[in-house]
Amino acid sequence: MTDTSNAIMDATEERIRQGGYSGFSFREIAADVGVKSSSVHYYFPIKKGSPRQWPDVTQTAFWKR
């Protein structure tokens, strides 16, 4: 994994802890990391509007670290 994808993972984990799986947006994650929202989708391509998929994506990426 790259530094950017690790930073996205870390920011996502923090947002999930603060507000739950529905308590964050990709724009917020991007702002936390200092990248464009499209970068979040590049590193973790999931359908827009499907935040319930995010836990599966992040869990898979976490175990690849």
pLDDT digit string (tens) for the chain, length 65 residues: 688 888 988 888 888 888 887 778 889 999 999 999 998 888 877 655 445 566 666 677 666 66
pTM: 0.68
Q: What is the pLDDT of residue 25?
A: 86
Query: 3-64: which CATH number, 1.10.10.60, 3.40.30.10, 3.30.1490.20, 1.10.10.10?
Result: 1.10.10.60
What's the rounded Cα separation, in Å, for the pair 7 and 4? 5
Domain ranges of the chain: 3-64
Q: What is the pLDDT of residue 13?
A: 82
Tokens representing 11? Answer: 């920011």
Query: Count of residues for the chain?
Result: 65
